[in-house]
Amino acid sequence: MINGKRIAVVLPAYNAEKTLEATVRELPELVDIRILVDDHSSDRTLDVAHRLGLQCFVHNRNYGYGRNQQTCYREALAAGADVVIMVHPDYQYTPLLATAMASMIAYGVYDVVLGSRIIGGTALRGGMPFYKYVSNRLLTAFENLFLRVKLSEYHTGYRAFSRDVLSRLPLLENSDDFVFDNQMLAQCVYFGFRIGEVSCPTKYFEEASSINFRRSVQYGLGVLGTTLEFALQRAGIIQRPIFSDEGKTLQAGSAAYYEGTSPTA
């Protein structure tokens, strides 16, 4: 706990057998709740997770990265978490920063904290492909222009959220795919939540998950679409459920196993 707040780490997993243990071993002891959601992996991810003592939930088929996050956040809220940190189990981001990120939320400084690979200039040194670095910078500039904020990047998978953020955002309106990340940040800006960043070194290696060029292009187009929808919604031209107070939110009252999600023993 930090400042009386219960801290949860959620790990959205898919074929993370080779890197899961290294990731979990670096989680700070202050973490109260450790949840892994397996999106129907074909390797031994669940076996490793059980051996490490994680609370596990499994999808009965591969629903996608966005749906995995929905389950992660739903179960963290049901477990009573006040601060929820998403850590990718591919060991690309260091879990050691979880303490700093959680503290910034637990003490009320920010509602959302991002682990930025851009601050500090370590992204390319950590092995980020050059085309991904360039697209990251261009998409971020585009988003800062239309969202009227100034973040160093929107595309990190290392994020911490307050319970209020996860309870209020209409997350069930978002994509099941990778653009879920971007939609969620656009929602945070639209609904007025405070966003902070910390510098996070990253490492790209063979076992670390990374989407291919084709999926990267699809993601980039999704980012452009989300940004334009945000601008049009703010201008009152369109009304989209992902930016509506009437949009569907996560139900945090109790653990809910939905559409093929179940706990594992």
Residues 199/114, Cβ–Cβ less than 8 Å: no
In a domain, 257, yes or no: no
Query: Hey, CA dihedral for 68, 173, 217, 114, is it positive or negative?
Result: negative
- Give me the pLDDT at residue 260, please: 62
**Average pLDDT of the chain to the nearest whole number:** 91
pLDDT band, very low/low/confident/very high, at 254 (cuts 50, 70, 90): very low
Torsion angle defined by CA atoms of residues 262, 10, 196 and 139, in that order, rounded to the nearest 10 degrees = -70
Task: Give me the CATH number covering residue 155.
Answer: 3.90.550.10
In a domain, 21, yes or no: yes
Strand ranges across the sheet with 261-263 = 195-199, 112-116, 159-162, 83-86, 7-13, 33-38, 55-59, 261-263
In a domain, 250, yes or no: no
- Give me the pLDDT at residue 255, please: 44
Q: Which range marks the domain in which residue 169 is found? A: 7-244
Q: Of all residues in the chain, what percent carry a pLDDT higher than 70?
A: 92
pTM of the model: 0.92
In a domain, 249, yes or no: no
> What's the number of domains the chain is made of?
1
Residues 158/114, Cβ–Cβ less than 8 Å: yes
Instruction: Name the amino acid, one letter, at 163.
Output: R
Q: What is the pLDDT of residues 82-104, one digit of tens each?
A: 999 999 999 999 999 999 999 99
pLDDT average, residue stretch 61-65 = 95
Q: Does the structure show a pLDDT above 60 at 252?
A: no
Q: 110 or 203: which carries more pLDDT confidence?
A: 110
- Rounded to whole angstroms, the Cα distance separating 219 from 174 reads 13
- Give me the pLDDT at residue 264, please: 66
Q: Does the structure show a pLDDT above 70 at 177?
A: yes
Residues 85/2, Cβ–Cβ less than 8 Å: no
Q: Does the structure show a pLDDT above 90 at 202?
A: no
Residues 119/51, Cβ–Cβ less than 8 Å: no
Q: 131 or 86: which carries more pLDDT confidence?
A: 86
